[in-house]
Structure 1
Amino acid sequence: MTQIRKLIMGAMVGGALLIGAVLPAEYGIDPTGLGSKLGLTALAQDTPEGAPFEGALEFNIGDYDPTADLINTSVQGLIHLEDAPFRSKVIDIEIEDFGEVEYKFVLPADTTLVYSWEVLNAVGDGVYYDFHGHPSSEDAANYPEGFEMAYSRGEGLAQHGSFTAPFPGYHGFYFMNIEEGPITVRLKVSGYWEEHKEMYRAVQDNVILNEDF
C-alpha cells in the first residue's frame, strides 16, 4: 500500500504542476487563475513575427570605481573594439657600428601596440632608445609646429610593454647603437597598425634614409 500511495501522491503533484504552472506558461491555459497571479500566462504570449520589440533594453555599463570591493557592472571604456583582427610581426633591425635607426608604426588613436625588443648580440650597453610619436603630415596643422610626444627614453638591452596611441599618427622607436660593432635589435609587436616601416637610418651622422611622414 505504501508504494501505491507514493505513486498516487506523485501523480497528484505532477498534475498540480501541469495545471498550475505548465499550462499557463506554455499554452496560456489557466483554469485555476494561479498562472495569471504568478505572471506565468505572460510567457505564453508570442510576439507576432516581424513585430517590433517594445521592451526597454538596459545595459549595466558604468564608470570604473577603484575603491569598490566588487564591481558587477561592465566598465565603460576598458574595451575598444576593432574592425579586424590584430596583427603580429617579428622585425630584425640591423644597426651598423655608430648607426641610428627609426622604425615607426602608423596607428589610429586609441589603438594598442604590445611590444618587446631586445639586442640579440650585445656585449656592452646595447642601445640608446627613444619611443615617441608624432602626427602625420596631413594632420600636422592640427598640432603645434614640430609637435612630438615622448613615451620612453633611456639606454639598455631590452624593453617590454604595451602602448595605446593618444593620437593618430606615427608611433615607434629610435635606436642608436652604443655598442662596439654592428648589432641586431629584434622587435616583436602585436597590434592594430595600418602600416609600418623604417623611417630613418644614419651611420656616423651620414643620413642613408629619411622618409617623409
Structure 2
Amino acid sequence: MYNTNMPGRNDLPTSRQLIRSTVVAMIVATLLLITTVLPAEYGIDPTGAGEVLGLTDMGRVKMALAEEMRAEKEIVAAMENAPVMSDYEVEAAQDSFASEEDVSAQEQSESALVLVDPIITKDEISIILDPGQGAEIKLTMNKGASVSYRWQSDGPVNVDVHGDPVNAPKDFYHGYGKGKNIAKSEGTITAAFDGKHGWFWRNRSDKTVKVVLETEGDYSEFKRVM
C-alpha cells in the first residue's frame, strides 16, 4: 500500500497568495463581463471593445428581437382571445355605433371612413424591414369588393391578413389568413364589411428583409399605416 506524503506547511499557499489569486480572478471576470458579456448579450458597451469585436450589434439585435417577441406575443394573445363576428353581428354593431346619442356630429365626421364607389386600381410597394420590425398595408374597401394580391420577400417573414370595419367594436378581429416564416403568397381578399383590409408583416430574422406587394382590385385607398 502506498501512502502519499502530506504536503508540508511550506508547500501550502499563504493567505496573501490566496487573496491575490482571488483578486486577480475577480478582475479577469469583471473585464470579461464588461468587454464581452454585456455587449454580446445586452448591447451595453461601456469600453467600446464590444464595438471593435463586433459584439455590440449582436447584443442590440438580441434585445430588439426579445422586445419584439414580447410585443408580438401580446398581439397574438389578444387576437386569439378576440371574438370573430359574423357578418350579421358586424352590421348590428355598426348600426349600434352609428345610433349612439352621446356621440356628437363632429366626432362622427372625424372618425368615419370616406368610402367612394369602387374602381379597379393597381398599386405596388416595396418595404424594407429591419430585424424585428413590422409593417402594415391597408386598403379601404366596400363590403363585397375584391382585390387580388401577390407579395414576395427575400427572406422569411410572419404575415397576418385581416380587416377592420368602420367604427370597429373593442377587441374586434376578423382574419383572412396567417403565415409564419414564409417568403411569398398570393390570393384574393373579398371584403366582409365596409372598412380597411390588408396585411401585417413581421421580420423575425436577424437580417434586413425586403417585401414587395402588388395589388389589383376594387379599393379606394392604398396606405401604409405602420
Structure-2-length-normalised TM-score: 0.46
Greater strand proportion: 1
Greater helix proportion: 2
Structure-1-length-normalised TM-score: 0.49
